[in-house]
Amino acid sequence: MKSFVFAVLLVCTAQFSNAQSEGSLIEKTLQNYMDGSSYNKIPQLKSAFADDATLYLTGKDGFKRYTPSEYAGFFTGKEPGEFNGRYAKILAIEVIKDIATAKVEIAFPERDMLYIDLFLLKKMENGWRIISKTATRVDKNN
């Protein structure tokens, strides 16, 4: 019985270790999203997304679906590398084999705005990529 328990522990440890390393790779993808959007770095921002990703966001025209290129367009016309007041931090990541979910907080303290972004990610040949994103404003002014 002890050998069975030990074998189960080894499998669980290996799965946990793998989830940790996958989590680090997902963090790298999310960091590309966060840095790209906070510093107007369009190529870095786009690199976080699968080419056919869908983004569902509420804007001036209501709830709408965007492509990664359309979303990256929100950050054009601004100086690449210059901080735009958008602070981001990862709140949660959950990995299940080759898919994951993530939650990121986006804050604009100078404008008293706070958003929560939710992501679906997929492990692809070229690494982890965001396949879907949505966001909602959660500050007290909304």
Q: What is the CATH number of the domain that holds 87?
A: 3.10.450.50
Residue 108 domain-assigned? yes
Residue 59's pLDDT band (cuts 50, 70, 90): confident
**What pLDDT, on a 0 to 100 scale, did the predictor assign at position 6?**
40
Residue 43 domain-assigned? yes
77: containing domain: 2-137
**What pLDDT, on a 0 to 100 scale, did the predictor assign at position 82?**
96
Q: Residue by residue, what is the 3-state secondary structure of the chain? A: CHHHHHHHHHHHHHHHHHHHHHHHHHHHHHHHHHHHHHCCCHHHHHHCEEEEEEEEEEECCEEEEECHHHHHHHHCCCCCCCCCCCEEEEEEEEEECCEEEEEEEEEEHHHCEEEEEEEEEEEECCEEEEEEEEEEECCCCC
Residue 142 domain-assigned? no
| Nearest Cα residue to 37 out of 91, 128, 108, 137 | 108
State the Cα–Cα distance between residues 137 and 28, nearest whole angstrom.
24
Instruction: Give how many domains the chain has, as a whole number.
Output: 1
Residue 33 domain-assigned? yes
What is the pLDDT of the chain when averaged over all its residues? 89
Q: For the chain, what percent of residues have pLDDT higher than 90? A: 79
- Kindly tell me if the per-residue pLDDT of 93 is higher than 80: yes
- Kindly tell me if the per-residue pLDDT of 36 is higher than 50: yes
Residue 1's pLDDT band (cuts 50, 70, 90): low
Considering the entire predicted model, what is its pTM? Answer: 0.84
Residue 129 domain-assigned? yes
Q: Could you give the C-alpha distances from 64 to 61, 107, 112, in angstroms and in order?
A: 8, 22, 24
Q: Can you tell me the mean pLDDT for 112-120?
A: 97
Q: Can you tell me the mean pLDDT for 86-101?
A: 97
